[in-house]
Amino acid sequence: MICCSERYFLRNASPYQIWSRSFASENGDLVEAVVPFMGESVTDGTLANFLKKPGDRVEADEAIAQIETDKVTIDVSSPEAGVIEKFIASEGDTVTPGTKVAVISKSAAPSEAHVAPSEETSQKETPPPPPAEKPKVEAKSPKVESVKPQASKLASPSEPQLPPKERERRVSMPRLRKRIANRLKDSQNTFALLTTFNEVDMTNLMKLRTDYKDEFVKKHGVKLGLMSCFVKAAVSALQNQPIVNAVIDGDDIIYRDYIDVSVAVGTSKGLVVPVIRDTEGMNFADIEKGINSLAKKATEGALSIDEMAGGTFTISNGGVYGSLISTPIINPPQSAILGMHSIVQRPVVVDGSILARPMMYLALTYDHRLIDGREAVLFLRRIKDVVEDPRRLLLDI
């Protein structure tokens, strides 16, 4: 959890912005684009890719490169309008705030000299003579190569035939994926992970959405989804079982008197977990607006460090991908995570009759060092009761 002073610092990080801008514009006609301040807890990043090339015209504050950090992707912007003269850094380099990335000329016109169209056309015209000779050489090599595999097969008939290396691709792992991998493994190595399950009849909640979805959109300007109800149910359960909202710190237990819910969002670059803060004071509409805003930023890669820092409890909805059941892994340094899954029509017994009902499996993975089975089961039971009968939230029962 980021304290108030840290939040203020991140929102008012102008000293770093001023430093990076003045550092980049001390050379008269030539200015240098540098890596900006990347956040209080981020010290370096990887130059992922350039969005422009030498000779391109750029405007002031236009992004020319992207820096990939452990948490977010940050743009390197041009300090002035001009033409990119050259790049100083290369893709794949590890950079820190203040690292020079590109040199930009404020007065130069866009240059096309680097394109060299005449050289490209001449290269295209000269190849025709060699192709007539190359087929002769290529025709011989396959015959030689075809004999060797047969000899090797005769020598060792039991030797497994592996796919050729030409059919494999090796790429460097993105920093975000490395961060995810390390955190997941740290979670497994640190926590005494245990998962308990329950199932929820979604009939009443789905009827509630159907009955009030139009009025909800008309009044609040946002759709009523399932996540807001599960967040509200989780808040109620965390208030009933505060140990689930706590965390171990050395030889101490820290109880948090606030509830910041992290919502797992899958993106093309990996899983990110933005935080909805102070959910205990939010209504359904506030939660839906918060989720929609964070999900949109996550998809666009626009989440800030502050929006992903902290969090006391996580909800992951694998049901959007069709997952029927799973065992989610705790998001450190939290102590528990709730896993939602797909809604499936299943036969259940209701008042002695077998009926088809929309059912969802719930999974709660918790740190058994801190949370006993009793608290975990009661926590999940509370979520089940609230989701199956949302009126409990109004009556606080």
φ and ψ of 14, to 5 deg: -60, -30
- Set 61, 186, 211, 372: catalytic member: 372
Cα–Cα distances (Å) from 259 to 63, 218, 246, 303, in that order, read 36, 29, 10, 20
3-state secondary structure of 247: strand
pLDDT of residue 128: 52
Distance CA 320, CA 271 (A): 14
pLDDT of residue 38: 76
For the 30-105 domain, the top CATH level (class) is mainly beta
Q: What is the helix (H) or strand (E) element at residue 57, kind and residue range?
A: strand 57-58
3-state helix, strand, coil in the chain (%, to 5): 40, 25, 35
pLDDT of residue 26: 46
- Set 368, 385, 389, 396: catalytic member: 368
Q: Which residues contact 23 (CB under 8 A, 6 or more apart)?
A: 32, 34, 98
Indicate the DSSP class of residue 27. B
pLDDT of residue 9: 37
Structure tokens of 49?
Answer: 């890719």
pLDDT, mean of each 10-residue run, the chain (397 residues): 41 39 53 83 81 88 85 83 88 86 79 43 48 47 47 54 80 83 88 96 94 93 93 96 96 95 84 91 94 88 84 93 93 94 95 95 96 96 95 88
pLDDT of residue 368: 96
Distance CA 277, CA 290 (A): 9
Domain boundaries, the chain: 30-105, 179-394
Annotated catalytic, 372?
Answer: yes
Distance CA 311, CA 234 (A): 13
**Cβ 64 vs Cβ 84: under 8 Å:** yes
Distance CA 259, CA 254 (A): 13
Annotated catalytic, 201?
Answer: no
Distance CA 83, CA 375 (A): 63
The CATH number of 179-394 is: 3.30.559.10
**Cβ 339 vs Cβ 362: under 8 Å:** yes
Distance CA 86, CA 55 (A): 8
pLDDT of residue 29: 82
Give the predicted TM-score (pTM) of the model. 0.66
